[in-house]
Amino acid sequence: MKKYNFLLALSLILGLNACKQDYTYLSLRDAVPVDVITVDNAVYYERIPFVTTSQAAGGNIEIILKLADGSPNTIKEITRVNASSTNKAINATSVQTTTGLYNTAVISGTGKSVSFKTSIAEYLKKKSLTTLQVSGAVPYDLQFYFLVTLDNGQTIIPFETRVRPLM
C-alpha cells in the first residue's frame, strides 16, 4: 500500500510539473487595448476626465480627443456626440442610437487627434434649459459621450467627458 501511495504521489508531482503554462485566458490578465483615446486637454480626473470652461469668458467648450501614440491607426472622425441634460442621465450606449443626439454632424479628425467645440449657450439651447447651476454643493457638470471612428473603420466609445462650468 505504501508503494502505491508513493507511486501516486510521484506521478502527481511529475504530472503537475510537466504542465506547460497557458496564457490564453485573457480574463486573468489585463486586457489593454491598442487604440486608447484620451482627453488631451483634461484639467483633472475624478475617475473620468474633466474639462472646465468659464461662463464669464463666454462659455466656449473645447474637448480634444487624442489617440495613443503607439496606435497604428489615425482618427477619421467623431461620428456622433451625445450630452446629458442632468448629471448621469446618459451612458455609453446613447451614442449608438441615431435619435436624440447632441450633434449628428461628422467632425473630421487630423492624424491622432480631433477637436469637438461647442458653447454653454449652444448647450442650453439644444437641451432646452435656461441656466446652469454653477454654485452649491453639487456643481452642474455637462456630460458628453463620443462615438469615434478610426481610419480602419473601427468605432470606439471613449470614457465619458465632463465639462465643469465655472463662474
| Structural domain contains residue 7 | no
Q: 149 has which bridge partners?
A: 77, 155
Interval 37-84: pLDDT, tens: 999 999 998 889 999 998 888 889 999 999 998 889 999 999 999 988
| Cα(94)–Cα(98) distance, integer angstroms | 9
Interval 23-42: pLDDT, tens: 665 556 666 677 889 999 99
| Structural domain contains residue 5 | no
pLDDT of residue 38: 92
Which is more confidently placed, 148 or 87?
A: 148
The number of folded domains in the chain is 1
| Structural domain contains residue 1 | no
| Structural domain contains residue 43 | yes
Which is more confidently placed, 115 or 85?
A: 115
pLDDT of residue 1: 73
Tell me which residue has cell 435656461. 130
CA separation (Å) from 71 to 50, 114, 118, 127?
24, 15, 28, 35
Name the pTM for this structure.
0.77
Interval 101-158: pLDDT, tens: 888 899 999 999 999 999 989 988 888 777 776 666 666 788 999 999 999 999 999 9
| Structural domain contains residue 152 | yes
| Structural domain contains residue 147 | yes
Here the CATH number for the domain that contains residue 84 is 2.60.40.10
In the predicted model, is pLDDT for residue 21 greater than 70? no
| Structural domain contains residue 18 | no
Q: Residue 143 burial (CB < 10 Å; 0-12/13-18/19+)?
A: buried
Residue 46 lies in domain: 29-166
| Structural domain contains residue 23 | no
pLDDT of residue 19: 64
